[in-house]
Amino acid sequence: MDTLSRVTLVDPTPARMDLGRLIEQPSGDFSSEESQQLRQDFTRFMMRYKFGMEEIVTKLSILRDEFAHLHDTNPIENISSRLKNPDSILEKMGRKNCEPTFESITEKITDIAGVRVTCSFVSDVYHVFELLTSQSDVNVVDIRDYITDPKPNGYRSLHALIEVPVFMSDGEVPVLVEVQMRTIAMDFWASLEHKIHYKYREEVPESLLEGLRQAAETAGELDTTMERLHTEVKTAGELSVELQRKLRASGDVVPDEAFVERLRGLSP
């Protein structure tokens, strides 16, 4: 018996069965008036998430453009978004024992709409997060900081479940959007990890898992080093000669001016 059947048998009323069928076959032939109404309701349901996702993307794009034109550096490297397809929703309904109703899907599946932000440095991740969530119409529902506390496999990222208002013709609707923020190094690692798990269908050889854990440590060290160099570049011109001399005497590294100039050329 497939996932959809197991879920719909909880209460096999026509409307609930049709919602399951509609998610499984969004382009199928549903001729009854009730089914046509259900199709329209499902389309409206998904549009809410699409609009909520686009609202978050717009807010982030405004911040990125402002930094690009009015500030010396831009903390946002890339913004991407995705809306779960019906197959993914159906699969997650089965895993979460979610009943085929809009109310149950809204409650149990919180990542239908997702936005990912890639930043250069760890400090940029938290800075962009603060700028986004300080806006008056943004409500933070949940935060999971996998940068401070990485997952056992080495995954690092800042996850936030954010609620924004979407204004439809029938009124205002609060919509949840999952926002992931990470550095370039974290994103590179996560992309490789996803490809490996997809290829091996969760049966990943231990040697690869260990390699991923080591790569995660390397990526973390890279982020730390780049953050330090970035900070040194920003503050080098602010340090007095006497302070630089004391820092050198204490064993801390203060880059020579030629090196600083080269880094300034690379700095965003």
Tokens read off for 62: 């405004």
20 touches 7 (CB < 8 A): yes
Residue among 178, 203, 242, 257 flagged as catalytic: 178
Look up 202 and say whether it is catalytic. Answer: no
Q: Give the strand order in the sheet containing 76-83.
A: 76-83, 113-119, 171-183, 158-168, 139-145
List the beta bridge partners of residue 174: 165
Q: Which of 179, 91, 174 is nearest to 131 (CA)?
A: 179
CA atoms within 13 A on the CB side of 247: 13
* Contacting residues for 155 by C-beta, under 8 A, at least 6 apart: 146, 189, 190, 193, 216
Catalytically active residues are: 178
